[in-house]
Amino acid sequence: MPRVPLFLKKWMTAPRPTEQRPDSLCPSVPEAPSLSEKQDITPKQIALMGNPSAGKSAMFSQMTGVTVIVSNIPQTTVMVQKGLSQINGHKLFIYDLPGVYSVTAVTEDEAATKEFLLGTPLDAVIDIVDATRLERNLYLTLQMLELGLPVVVCLNQVDLLKTLDLDIDVADLERELGATVVPTIATQGQGVHAALESAYHYAERPSKRAPRQVSYDDHIERAIAALIPLLPETSVPKRGFAARLLEGDEAFEARVDEHTLAIVKEFRDEVERAHGENVAITIARGRYSTAGLIASAVLVRKVHKLTLAERFGDLATRPRTGYPLLVALIGGMLALIFYVGGYLSDLMTSFFEGIVFPPVFRVVDAYVPNLLVTSAVHSTLLALAAALAIAVPYILVFFIFLAILEDVGYLPRVAVLLDRQAHIIGLRGRSIIPLLFGYGCSVPAIMATRTLPTKKERIITIALITMIPCSARTAIILGVAATYAGVQYAIAIYLISLVLIIASGRLLRSTVPGRTAGLVLEIPLIRRPALVPILKKTWLRMKEFFYVAVPLLVVGSIVFGWLEVTGLSRLIEAPMAPVTVGLLGLPAFTAICLIYGVLRKEMAVEMLAIASGTFIFSTVMTPVQIFVFCLVVTLYVPCVATFAVITRELNTRWAVGISIFTIVLALIAGGIAFRVLTYAHW
Amino acid sequence: MPQEHKLSPSEEEYLEAIYTRQEANAQAITTRNLAECLGVKDSSVSEMLKRLSEKGFIHYTPYHGATLTEAGLKIATKVKRKHRLLERFLVDICGVDKHESHEQACEMEHVISDAAVDTLSTQLGNPATCPGGSVIPEGEKGDETVISKLSKMGKGTYVIRFLTSPEPETISRLCSLGLIPGLPVKVLRKIANGPIIIEMKDTQIALGRDVAESLLVSPEEKEVEGRRRRKRRGAPPAAAAG
C-alpha cells in the first residue's frame, strides 16, 4: 500500500514512483507538501470531509482558531478553506471542504470538494460523520475508504444521540469500518484534540487495518473482478477504481484507455440488462446496504418520544402553523431591530452630539486656522458618529437575530414551506436560503448560490438577491425612513421591494434560458442555539464593517468636507440635479450621498447625515423626500462588493446588466412614488 | 375451463363492449345495443353471444340481454385495461390524437402481452384514468405491485420502485442521498401543491412536488396485505351487477 495516497492526474496513469512525490501540485495548494526527508519541517495536510451539516466548519474553527461561518444549514461552506493547526508541536494544514453526500458532484460546491480531493496530496482525511444520521453518513465514508483515502472518522454530535434515544458502540464501529473512530462534539470542542492526534498519527504511521469493503451484488462483483487486471497502478485501490468506472465517473474514465472503456461499457450494459436500472443505482445500493449493515450492527435504538425541538421543527413546516410563524418571526425581527436598534442608536447619537461634538468642535474652530484641517476633523468625527449611531446598532441586532435563526435550523424549513411560492418566480425552495441570506448581506448570499443545481436558478437568484434589502439597507429603512418619516413608509418600502422582486422574478423566469431542477433538501435537526458561537459569528460579520466600512467612511467623509469647503461639490450636484431634484424631488446634496451609496449602501445615509449636518433628518427633508431617498437607495445598483462578486460568480455582462436594470427600476419607482405622494398630499 | 380458451379479437371486442355497458349503467346489454355499438348485424351478434355463452363467459338470455360471468369479467377487465393504458400511451407519449388513439388501441389491445402492458403501466406511472377520463382497471397482479407516484400517496411507509425524473441532477442527488429503488421511505407531511417531507434512515428530506411525482413507489408489505383484505370483503362493482 502506498503510504500516502495521491490523486494527481499524472499519477493515475503512470505507475507510482517509490518514495517521491510529484513536483506539480494542485493549483489550490500553493505550499509544497513534504518530501519524505523534510517531513518534520513541512506541515502535514489534513482535509475535513463529510456530509452537509455534519459539523465540518465547527470542527475547522476549533482546530485552527480561524472563525468561519458555521450554521445549522446544509451546504453553508461553498469553497475550500485553509487554516493552520498544531498538535504536540507539529504544524498541520487543515482544509475545510464543502459538504457532499457522495463523491459524485452535482453542484459547484460539490465539484470543488471532488476536485480538491482528487487533486491534492493529503496525509489524512478526517471524515466528519453526523452520529444522528449514521447510516446515511457512512455511505460517504465507505466511498472514501474505497478510494483508498487515509480516513480517520469523527463521530460528531454525539451529544444529540441521547435526545434521540440512540446509542452507538464506538469500538464496534471502529471494527466494522476498519478505521479509527473518535467521538466528538465539534461545537463544544470536545474530542477535537483526540481527532487531530489520530489524524496526525495516521499521517505518521498509516493504519495496517484493512478498511471495510463494500459488498456489491454478483453482477457488479463479476465485472469488478474482470476489470481489475486491466487497470493502471494508482493510489486508488483497484476495486474502488473499477466501481467508479462502472458507475460512469468521468474523472476515472479519463484515466484508462479506449479498450478498457469499451469493456467497461459492455459490463455496464450487462448489469443494466440484468437489473433493469442504471448501473450507478445498483452500485449505490451496494454501498448503502453495506452502510445499513454497519449501522444496524453498532446502533442501538430505544423507544423514542418526540422532543420539544422536534415538535417545533414540525410546526415550522406545517402550513397552518408555519406561515403564521414565519410572519411572526419576520415581524418580530423587524420590530426588534427597530426598537432595540433604535434605542442603541439614540444612545450613540446623544453621546456624540451631547458629549463629544461640542467641546471638540469649539476647540478646533477656535484654534485651528486652516479651513481644510478643521473640515477634516469635523468630517472624521461625523463619520465615526454616523457609523456608530446609524449603521452599527441596526446591523448588529439584525446579525444576532440571523445567527440564531441559522443555528436553530429554521431556514431550511422556510425553504420547504416556500417552495410552492418560489415556483412563481421561476425558482425552487432551495433558492430561498440564499435569498434569505440576502437580507443579511448580498455578498455571502450570492456565494451561497453555488449550492443551486442549475445555471438558470443561480442567475435568477443572484439578480433577485441584489434587490433584497440587506442589513445595511434595513438600517436605512428602519433607522431613517421609519424613524424620521413614519413606520408606514418603512413598511411601504419593504412591500414595494417585495412586489418588485416578485415581478422581476417572473420577468427573469421567462427570459433567462435554461431549466430548473426539483427540490431535494435535507432538513437538519432543530438545535438549541449556543451564545458563544452566535456572538463569534456576529463578530465575524461585523468585523468587516469596522475594518473596511468605517475607514472608507472616514476617508469619504473628509473628501466630502473638502468638496463642500472648496465649493467643488456643486460640480457634482449640478449635473445630477435633473435626476435628484427633477425626477425624484430630493434636495440637491443627496446626489453625492447616492454616489457614496454605490461603495456601501449604508454610506448613502451616513453621508446624508454628514452632508445635512444633522442626524435628525426630518429637519432637512420632508417625509416624502426621506421615503423616496430610502426607496431609491434600497433598490438602485448593487454596491461595489456585490458587483465584484457577481462578476466573479457569473460574468461582467450580468453584473452590468443587473446594475442597469436596478438603476432604471429604482428611478422609475422613486419617480412614481414622489409624484403619487405629492399629489396625495395636496 | 373457460379461461383456457384463446379468444379471438372479435370475441374480446364483444366482452369489452358488454363490460363498458355494465360499467356505465350496470344493466344487461341487449342484442340491439351491441349491434349498434360494434356496427354489425343483429344476427351476427346473437350468434356470437350464443358462442360466448357456451364458452361460459357470459350469461345470455335471448330478448333480455347479456351480462358477464366471472370468467368473462376477468378477460373483459384485462382487455379494457390494455385498451385504456394503450390510449394513455398513444396520447401522452406518442402524441396521437384522442380519437385516433381509440381506434389504434382497439387493434393493439388484442396482441399486446399481459406482461408488456404491466410494464407499460409502471412506466406511465400507473395512471388511474384513460385520456377520456374512464377508470383504468387495476392489473391482476396489481395488488402486489401497486405502483404509483409518491406525490399521490398519503402518510405512510412506501418502498421506492423507480426513479423517473428527466433531470439528471435530480436523479444524481436522490442517489447520493440514498433514495434508490428498494428503500423504504415514510411520508411525514404533504404541503398542499408543495413539497412532500419524507423520512429515510433517520433523516428528514423535503422533495419538491415534481420530484415526488418522478418517484414511483409501492406500499410496504404490511400495507399491501391490509389492502388485499379490504378488497376481498367488497365485491368488484361490475361483478355485483352481473
Residue A230 has what DSSP assignment? Answer: G
Q: Tens of pLDDT along B57-115?
A: 888 877 777 878 878 888 888 888 888 888 888 888 888 888 888 888 888 888 888 87
Q: Pick A518's closest partner by Cβ from B177, B182, B210.
A: B210
DSSP-assigned beta bridge partners for residue A271: none
Regarding predicted confidence, which is higher, A239 or B117?
A239
Predicted model pTM = 0.74
The predicted model gives A72-83 an average pLDDT of 79
CA distances from B224 to A247, B94, B151, B187 (A): 33, 33, 18, 16
B216 touches A at CB < 8 Å: no
Same structural domain, B8 and B24: yes
- Using an 8 Å CB-CB cutoff, list chain A residues near B171: 278
Q: Looking at chain B, which residue has its C-alpha nearest residue A422?
A: B194
Cβ-proximal residues to B205 (8 Å cutoff; 6+ apart), any chain: A520, A521, A522, A523, B177, B179, B197, B198, B199
DSSP codes, A52-96 = TTSSHHHHHHHHH-------SSTT---S-EEEEEEETTEEEEEEE
Please state, for a pLDDT cut of 90, what percent of chain B lies above it.
Answer: 7
Same structural domain, B155 and B128: no
Grid coordinates belonging to A126: 478526517
Q: Tens of pLDDT along A640-657?
A: 888 988 998 899 999 999
Q: Tens of pLDDT along A99-133?
A: 899 888 778 888 888 888 888 888 999 999 999 99
What's the CATH code of the domain at B7? 1.10.10.10
Q: Tell me the C-alpha distance between B235 and B223, whole Å.
A: 20
Q: What is the 3-state secondary structure (H, E, C) of B93-158?
A: HCCCCHHHHHHHHHHHCCCCCHHHHHHHHHHCCCCCECCCCCECCCCHHHHCCCCEEHHHCCCEEE
Same structural domain, B61 and B128: yes
What local confidence, expressed as pLDDT, does residue B222 receive? 53
The alpha carbon of residue A336 is apart from the nearest alpha carbon of chain B, in Å, by: 30
pLDDT of residue B146 exceeding 80: no
Residue of A139, A160, A416 for testing the chain B interface, max B β-carbons within 10 Å: A416
Cβ-proximal residues to B102 (8 Å cutoff; 6+ apart), any chain: B87, B132
Q: How many helices (H) and strands (E) does chain B have?
A: 10, 8
Tell me what ipTM this predicted complex has: 0.80
Q: Tell me the C-alpha distance between A648 and A447, whole Å.
A: 10
DSSP codes, A112-176 = HHHHHHHHS--SEEEEEEEGGGHHHHHHHHHHHHHTT--EEEEEE-THHHHHTTEEE-HHHHHHH
Same structural domain, B137 and B158: no
Q: How confident is the prediction for chain A on average, in pLDDT?
A: 85
Q: At residue A343, what is the residue type?
A: Y
DSSP-assigned beta bridge partners for residue B148: B217
CB contact under 8 A, B203 and A133: yes
Most confident of the ranges A301-305, A663-667, B201-205? A663-667
- Using an 8 Å CB-CB cutoff, list chain B residues near A106: 169, 172-173, 176
Helices (H), A228-370: 238-246, 250-253, 258-275, 279-298, 308-317, 319-336, 342-350, 357-367
Cβ-proximal residues to A551 (8 Å cutoff; 6+ apart), any chain: none
Same structural domain, B44 and B77: yes
Which domain-ending residue is among B121, B143, B165? B143
Most confident of the ranges A5-14, A339-348, B59-68? A339-348
The answer to the question of residue B161 being in a domain is yes
Same structural domain, B28 and B114: yes
CB contact under 8 A, B173 and A288: no
Q: Pick A136's closest partner by Cβ from B178, B192, B193.
A: B178
Same structural domain, B95 and B137: yes
Q: Pick B195's closest partner by Cβ from A104, A136, A519.
A: A519
CB contact under 8 A, B202 and A132: yes
The answer to the question of residue B241 being in a domain is no
Same structural domain, B137 and B153: no
Please state, for a pLDDT cut of 90, what percent of chain A lies above it.
Answer: 34
Report the candidate in A478, A475, A405, A404 with the shortest Cα–Cα distance to residue A441. Answer: A475
Q: How many structural domains compose chain B?
A: 2
What local confidence, expressed as pLDDT, does residue A33 receive? 42
The phi and psi torsions of B205 (rounded to 5 degrees) equal -135, 135
What local confidence, expressed as pLDDT, does residue B228 receive? 45
What's the CATH code of the domain at B214? 2.30.30.90
Grid coordinates belonging to A206: 498509516
Write down the domain spans for chain A.
9-204, 218-301, 317-681
CATH fold group of domain A9-204: Rossmann fold (3.40.50)
Report the candidate in A166, A165, A183 with the shortest Cα–Cα distance to residue A174. Answer: A183
Same structural domain, B113 and B176: no
What local confidence, expressed as pLDDT, does residue A19 receive? 32
CB contact under 8 A, B206 and A277: no
B211 touches A at CB < 8 Å: yes
Q: How many CB atoms lie within 10 A of CB A634?
A: 28
Residue A215 has what DSSP assignment? Answer: P
CB contact under 8 A, B180 and A285: yes
Predicted confidence band at A89 (pLDDT cuts at 50, 70, 90)?
A: confident
Report the candidate in A640, A322, A165, A290 with the shortest Cα–Cα distance to residue B206. Answer: A322
- Using an 8 Å CB-CB cutoff, list chain B residues near A100: 176
Q: Tens of pLDDT along A546-568?
A: 888 888 888 888 888 888 888 88
Q: How many CB atoms lie within 10 A of CB B236?
A: 15
CB contact under 8 A, A104 and B204: no
CB contact under 8 A, A518 and B205: no
CB contact under 8 A, B194 and A454: no
The answer to the question of residue B27 being in a domain is yes
The answer to the question of residue B227 being in a domain is no
The answer to the question of residue B63 being in a domain is yes
The phi and psi torsions of B156 (rounded to 5 degrees) equal 145, 180
Grid coordinates belonging to A273: 440488462
Provide the domain limits for residue B37.
Answer: 1-143
Which domain-ending residue is among B92, B118, B143? B143
Chain B, window 7-26: residues with a beta carbon less than 8 angstroms from a chain A beta carbon: none
Question: Residue length, chain B?
Answer: 242
What local confidence, expressed as pLDDT, does residue B129 receive? 79
With beta carbons less than 8 A apart as the criterion, state whether A464 and A500 touch.
no
Which of the four CATH numbers 3.40.50.450, 1.20.120.420, 3.30.1360.200, 1.10.287.1770 does domain A218-301 have?
Answer: 1.10.287.1770
Q: How confident is the prediction for chain B on average, in pLDDT?
A: 78
CB contact under 8 A, B169 and A284: no
CB contact under 8 A, B177 and A518: no
For Cα atoms A310, A313, A314, give the angle at the middle one, nearest 5 degrees. Answer: 90
With beta carbons less than 8 A apart as the criterion, state whether A461 and A430 touch.
no
Q: Find the helix or strand (DSSP H, E) in which B65 lies.
A: strand B65-68
What local confidence, expressed as pLDDT, does residue B37 receive? 77
Same structural domain, B31 and B124: yes
pLDDT of residue B241 exceeding 80: no
Same structural domain, B154 and B212: yes
Same structural domain, B105 and B11: yes
Grid coordinates belonging to A458: 443561480
Q: Tens of pLDDT along A183-203?
A: 999 888 899 999 999 999 888
Q: Tens of pLDDT along A11-66?
A: 333 333 333 333 333 333 334 444 444 445 678 899 999 998 888 888 998 888 87
The alpha carbon of residue A266 is apart from the nearest alpha carbon of chain B, in Å, by: 22
Cell 461640542, residue located: A358
Which domain-ending residue is among B97, B112, B143? B143
CB contact under 8 A, B169 and A419: no
Q: Tell me the C-alpha distance between B21 and B237, whole Å.
A: 13
